[in-house]
Structure 1
Amino acid sequence: MTTSTTTADSNPASTGQDGSEPNADTPATPNASEASESPAERSDDLAGKNGNAEAARYRRQLRDTEAERDALTAKVEAYQRAEVERLAGELAMPGDLFTLGGLTVSDLLDENGEVDPETVAAEVAELLESRPGLSANARIPAGPMYRNFGQGATTNNGRGGGASHSWHDALRR
């Protein structure tokens, strides 16, 4: 076997500007294609050389992915809540199922994560049984808002004030 060896003095073009010899990690002269590399490609090159930079890049990707996941989760929960409120149409205010019923959206989901109409109907029926005034068709009592216990003058409608007493009559006298 024959091997050829060259020295730094024998090939002056192979030395760098500072007199050091190039190695496999650093190119001898920058090419035009290397100068046009994007920052992402440069960070990939740095990531290969520096484990901390690669770990930092993965942490940034993880934070971005977690933020996107949280935003999508909130959006799905909002859609599920809207569906539950649509199914709770028997209530005058469907949001009362959550505020007064003490339920969360996850309480009304089936094992697949979908809104369970039977569970919603059962919870609405239970809430209306305990609080019938929450119904969309609740009976509002007719008549005076407050009962008259005999104080003051009364009229036919029970609200007080005589039929013959009016401002017109008072100013006429």
Structure 2
Amino acid sequence: MKITVIGVGKIKENYLTQAILEYSKRLSRYTKLEIVEVSDEKTPDGASEAEELQIKHMEGERILKQVKEGSFVFALAIEGKMYDSVEFAEQLEKLRTNGKSHLTFIIGGSLGLSEAVIKRSDALISFSKMTFPHQLMRVILLEQIYRAYRITAGEPYHK
């Protein structure tokens, strides 16, 4: 199975870059991982709702250009379904056994995802009702994907 993570914006903090590299290395035992960064738009202070929609639209177009045909797409969104780690592992395994060979996870920018990205997604997934910085979300997502593979393989992992 191949996994692609599409994220808006560049990772600026070294500690996040190091964590992403570590989980990418760990995941290489289980899957082919691709991380795609698309550029973000600067949001002016006091941006109007129309300006924010335009920014999400532009970022969304960049995201959608990176989504491969036939890929099962998870968009990370607060309104998405929440799984515990075992349920998430079971969901990924179910997709694999049903012939889905490519999964794409999308992490939006600071304003969230455009309606077009939400509509293209096959599933919405949420990690919490809280809002997290999108750069940190990459680390959390990769850790949970790694945990899911460990669970599926019956290997021990810290609970």
| TM-score interval, normalised by the smaller of the two chains | under 0.3
TM-score (norm 2): 0.21
Q: Which has the higher contact order (CA 8 A, sep 6+)?
A: 2
Greater share of residues in helix: 1
